[in-house]
Amino acid sequence: MRHARNWMMLVLCLVLVGSAQRAGADESDFVTVQGGIRYRLIGTYDVERLNKIVTAELKDFETTPSDVSFPAPQNGVKLYRVIYPTVIPERNNQPTEASGLIAAPDTNARVFPLLSYQHGTVFSKNEVPSFPEQSMETRLLIANFAGNGYVVIGADYIGKGISTAPDTYMVKESTIQACMDMLSASKLVLADLGLETKGLFLSGWSQGSWSTMMFRNRLETFGIPVTAAATACTPSAPYVLMTRWINKQTPLDVSWIVGTVTLLINSYEYYYDLPELSRAAIKPDYVQTAQDFYANKIGWTEAAKVFPATTKEFLKDDFATASSFAANRFYGQLMENEAYQWRYTTPSRYYYGLADECIAPYVAQLPVAFQETVGGASATAVFAGDQANHRGTFVFGVRDQKAWFDELLSK
């Protein structure tokens, strides 16, 4: 089975990447576990810092104030950056390295529930889990979960963090591979730290919700039990998402959706062998800026000065019209990368808000009706509120899912 071979490619590529020096890390600081997997302590959060995250920092993060509050963290947390070998399936299993985070409770206990968090869309290389000071979404998960007795892990994805590969934005097999290999690497690092885990929970936001769905599908396929999964603002049907942005704009739509489209087009051009896709899709005035943005040569602030406000204005008319035709390879690939049409064995929740500026409630709830139809495991839509925007829905979901996961652990 091809997916099983990819899983085993981890072993085959160790010699090739195990001794490589990678940007962004002093190798002398790392502890090597085995086969190129290594980790180092990058910091600690005490209870005072964790409390600041769920109060003052959360207030700064929310773009629309909400009444969501978090319980006070009960323990400090140790933060570890993990570097591990993996492969890029879309590039003939090319060996590479990726990074991720382990956040472990700083207590005398040795056994903890395990949460794998898949991060959302970011417009730089380092707003990812293993650089938690640059990622508020990660810090919130650390404070709410690791600060209350869970081990939290999170892959940066191939193309983010220390990775030197191009961004694998919503590229199916590479995303799955990064998450699977991060889980495997984390188990070995935790064992080296003398820690054990019980249960496996999954969480994600936005792009990370799609990643979580893909990851969960592979775990279920391999018979790896998942206790429960919860995602916020879930774009499980990329084709529906993209065509909605093109053909049915709403007053809620924000300009950074164009940045998301830029990442999607350029990553698919590279990883799905669609040469010149960006030039075929994007209007000439924006092509160079789009390529520079994807390559992290410029940030969103600079790109936003050039890009138009909407996806419709950003794309060539004929390419936008082609969204109605599955024969177009780009749109066909988006269809192939849907992430919800199988019969689940894992109970799941899907958070949505009416003020989400990016993911429409219909899109966010697609897995629910499908599971009801095929008789799969419980799949529940959870309403975050009339005023819950993209960030607000995420914050609501992080608070609610912790209570749900705790309830499942107590049974």
- Domain CATH number, residue 312: 1.10.260
Say whether both 131 and 6 belong to one domain: yes
pLDDT of 246 above 80: yes
Q: Note the pTM of the prediction, 2 decimals.
A: 0.93
Confidence tier at 215 by pLDDT (50, 70, 90): very high
Say whether both 279 and 184 belong to one domain: no
Structural domain including 96 reads 2-237+342-410
**Long-range contact set of residues 360-366: C-beta below 8 Å, sequence gap at least 24:** 360/244, 360/250, 363/234, 363/235, 363/236, 363/237, 363/240, 363/241, 363/244, 364/233, 364/234, 364/235, 366/234, 366/236, 366/237, 366/240, 366/340
Q: Tell me the mean pLDDT in the region 13-32.
A: 54
pLDDT tens figures, 268-285: 999 999 999 999 999 999
Q: Tell me the mean pLDDT in the region 16-29.
A: 48
Q: What is the pLDDT of residue 27?
A: 64
Say whether both 130 and 196 belong to one domain: yes
Q: In angstroms, rounded to a whole number, what is the distance separating the alpha carbons of residues 232 and 404?
A: 14
DSSP class of residue 29 equals G
Q: What is the pLDDT of residue 26?
A: 57
- Quote the mean pLDDT of the chain: 93
Q: What is the pLDDT of residue 411?
A: 87
Q: What is the pLDDT of residue 19?
A: 35
Say whether both 276 and 197 belong to one domain: no
pLDDT tens figures, 395-408: 999 999 999 999 99
Say whether both 175 and 157 belong to one domain: yes
pLDDT of 18 above 90: no
Contact between 359 and 400 (Cβ < 8 Å):
no
Rg (CA), the chain: 20
**Strand extents, DSSP E, 150-309:** 151-155, 196-205, 228-232
Q: At what angle do helices 390-410 and 136-144 cross, to 10 degrees?
A: 20
Say whether both 346 and 323 belong to one domain: no
Q: In angstroms, rounded to a whole number, what is the distance separating the alpha carbons of residues 153 and 79?
A: 10
User: The domain that contains 377 carries what CATH number?
Assistant: 3.40.50.1820
Confidence tier at 329 by pLDDT (50, 70, 90): very high
pLDDT of 6 above 70: no
**Whole-number Cα distances in Å, 314 to 193, 228, 253, 266, 285:** 49, 39, 14, 14, 9
pLDDT tens figures, 103-139: 999 999 999 999 999 999 999 999 999 999 999 999 9
Residues in the chain: 411
Say whether both 145 and 275 belong to one domain: no
Beta bridge pairs of residue 85: 97
Say whether both 190 and 255 belong to one domain: no
Q: Distance from CA of residue 10 to its chain's centroid?
A: 21
Q: What is the DSSP track for 311-357?
A: HHHHB-HHHHHGGG-TTSHHHHHHHHT----S--SS-EEEEE-TT-S
DSSP class of residue 117 equals E
Q: Which of 213-217, 323-327, 374-378 has the lowest mean pLDDT?
A: 323-327
Token reading at 7: 């899983």
Beta bridge pairs of residue 383: 352
pLDDT tens figures, 311-322: 999 999 999 999
Task: Please say which residue of 304, 321, 336 terminates a domain.
Answer: 336
Q: What is the pLDDT of residue 14?
A: 42
Say whether both 162 and 35 belong to one domain: yes
